[in-house]
Amino acid sequence: MSQKFYVLDVSYEIEAGKPVILIWAIDESGKRVLLKYDSFRPYFYVLPKEGADLEKLKKKISLVSQPKSPILNMEIVEKKYIGRPKKVIKVTTLIPESVRKYREEIKKFEEVEEVLEADIRFAMRFIIDKDVSPSGWIECETESLGTDKRYRVQEVLKIKDEPKRLEKIEKPNVSILAFDIEVYNKSGTPRPERDPIISIAFADEEGVVSKIAEDKNDAPLLWWFRNHILKKDPDILVGYNVNHFDWPYLIERAKFWKIPLDIGRKVGVPPSTGAYGHISVPGRANVDIYDFAKEVYEVKVKTLENIADYFDVMKKEERIIIPGPEIYKYWEDPSKRELLRKYNEEDALSTFLLSKLFLPFGEQLSYLTGLPLDQVMAASVGYRVEWYLMRIAFKNNELVPNRVERKVTQSYRGAIVLKPLRGVFHNVAVLDFSSMYPNIMIKYNVGPDTLVRPGEKVDPNDVYVSPVGHKFRKKPDAFFKKSLVTLLNLRKKIKEEMKELSEDDPKYRLLNERQKAVKVLANAHYGYMGWPHARWYCRECAEAVTAWGRELILKALKIARELGLKVIYGDTDSLFVIYDKEKVKKFIEIIEKELGFEIKIDKIYKTVFFTEAKKRYAGVLENGKIDIVGFEAVRGDWAEIAKEVQETVIDKVLRTGNVDEAIKYVREVISKLKRYEVPLEKLIIWKTLEKSLDEYKAEPPHVVAAKRALRAGYEVKKGDKVGYVIVKGPERLSKRAYPWFMIKDIKDVDVNYYIEHQVIPAAMRILGYFGVSEAKLRGREDGLWKFFKK
DNA sequence: TCCGGCTGTTG
DNA sequence: TCTTGCAGCCGGA
Element of type H or E holding A350: helix A337-369
Question: For A710 and B6, how far is CA from C1' in angstroms?
Answer: 21
Q: Torsions phi, psi of A410, nearest 5?
A: -55, 140
Beta strand pairing status for A574-578 and A599-610? unpaired
- Residue A400 per-residue DSSP state: P
Strands (E) across A523-625 are located at 567-571, 574-578, 599-610, 617-621
The pTM assigned to this predicted structure is: 0.94
A185 touches A194 (CB < 8 A):
no
Nearest Cα to Cα of residue A129 among A288, A10, A216, A14: A10
Least confident of A129-133, A263-267, A298-302, A372-376: A298-302
Cis amide bond preceding A85, omega within 30: no
* Distance in angstroms (rounded) separating the CA atoms of residues A437 and A346: 43
CA dihedral A563, A564, A568, A569 (to 10 degrees): 20
Question: For A698 and C12, how far is CA from C1' in angstroms?
Answer: 9
Q: Please state the separation of Cα A83 from the chain's center in Å.
A: 30
* Distance in angstroms (rounded) separating the CA atoms of residues A447 and A21: 35
Beta carbon of A692 within 7 Å of strand C? no
Q: Name the closest residue (CA) to the C1' of nucleotide C2.
A: A527
Neighbours of A255 (CB within 10 A): 13
pLDDT > 90? residue A790 = no
The Cβ-side half-sphere exposure at A627, using a 13 Å CA radius, reads: 17
B chain positions with any atom within 7 Å of a protein CB: 4-11
Least confident of A335-344, A471-480, A504-513, A753-762: A504-513
Using the CB atoms, write b or e for A535-561: b if 16+ within 10 Å: bbbbbbbbbbbbbbbbbbbeebbebbe
3-state secondary structure of A246: helix
* Distance in angstroms (rounded) separating the CA atoms of residues A6 and A3: 10
Q: What confidence tens digit (pLDDT) does each residue in A604-648 have? A: 999 999 999 999 999 999 999 999 999 999 999 999 999 999 999
Beta carbon of A729 within 7 Å of strand C? no
Q: Name the closest residue (CA) to the C1' of nucleotide B5.
A: A698
A518 touches A491 (CB < 8 A):
yes
Question: For A123 and C10, how far is CA from C1' in angstroms?
Answer: 50
Show residues, CB within 7 A, near nucleic chain B: A 297, 300, 414-415, 432, 571-574, 615, 629-630, 634-637, 686-691, 696-698, 700, 702-703, 721
Q: What is the pLDDT of residue A780?
A: 60
Q: Please state the separation of Cα A189 from the chain's center in Å.
A: 27
The sign of the torsion formed by the CA atoms of A53, A59, A65, A69 equals: positive
CA dihedral A392, A398, A400, A405 (to 10 degrees): -110
Average pLDDT for residues A79-97, to the nearest whole number?
A: 97
Q: Torsions phi, psi of A605, nearest 5?
A: -95, 130
Question: For A614 and B6, how far is CA from C1' in angstroms?
Answer: 20
- Per-residue confidence band for A297, with pLDDT thresholds at 50, 70 and 90: confident
**3-state SS string for A631-670:** CHHHCCCCCHHHHHHHHHHHHHHHHHCCHHHHHHHHHHHH
Beta carbon of A468 within 7 Å of strand C? no
Average pLDDT for residues A209-237, to the nearest whole number?
A: 96
Q: What is the pLDDT of residue A785?
A: 45
Q: Which nucleotide is nearest to A691 (CA to C1')?
A: B6
pLDDT > 60? residue A789 = no
Beta carbon of A697 within 7 Å of strand C? no
Q: What confidence tens digit (pLDDT) does each residue in A264-280 have? A: 999 999 999 988 989 99
Q: What confidence tens digit (pLDDT) does each residue in A740-784 have? A: 999 999 999 999 999 999 999 999 999 999 999 998 998 764 444
Q: What is the pLDDT of residue A188?
A: 80
The length of chain A, given as a count of residues: 790
- Residue A245 per-residue DSSP state: T
First to last CA, chain A: 90
Question: For A642 and B11, how far is CA from C1' in angstroms?
Answer: 26
Neighbours of A625 (CB within 10 A): 9
Question: For A746 and B6, how far is CA from C1' in angstroms?
Answer: 28
Q: Torsions phi, psi of A350, nearest 5?
A: -65, -35
Q: What is the pLDDT of residue A786?
A: 46
Beta carbon of A533 within 7 Å of strand C? yes
A124 touches A387 (CB < 8 A):
yes
Question: For A745 and C4, how far is CA from C1' in angstroms?
Answer: 44
Q: Please state the separation of Cα A149 from the chain's center in Å.
A: 38
Q: Which nucleotide is nearest to A570 (CA to C1')?
A: B11
% of chain A residues with pLDDT over 70 = 98
One-letter amino acid for residue A691 of the chain: K
Q: Please state the separation of Cα A494 from the chain's center in Å.
A: 23
* Distance in angstroms (rounded) separating the CA atoms of residues A105 and A652: 71
Beta strand pairing status for A626-629 and A574-578? unpaired
* Distance in angstroms (rounded) separating the CA atoms of residues A379 and A37: 27
Q: Please state the separation of Cα A51 from the chain's center in Å.
A: 45
- Select the highest-mean-pLDDT range: A580-594, A694-708, A718-732: A580-594
Element of type H or E holding A762: helix A760-767
Q: Name the closest residue (CA) to the C1' of nucleotide B10.
A: A615
Question: For A696 and B5, how far is CA from C1' in angstroms?
Answer: 9
* Distance in angstroms (rounded) separating the CA atoms of residues A226 and A218: 13
* Distance in angstroms (rounded) separating the CA atoms of residues A639 and A259: 46
Beta carbon of A528 within 7 Å of strand C? yes
A236 touches A373 (CB < 8 A):
yes
A190 touches A166 (CB < 8 A):
no
One-letter amino acid for residue A394 of the chain: F
Q: Torsions phi, psi of A138, nearest 5?
A: -130, 165
One-letter amino acid for residue A106 of the chain: I
A765 touches A648 (CB < 8 A):
no
Q: For the residues of A99-168, what is the DSSP string, one character each?
A: HHHHHHHHHT-TTEEEEESTTS-HHHHHHHHTT--TTSEEEEEEEE----TTB-SSEEEEE-S--EEE--
pLDDT > 90? residue A80 = yes
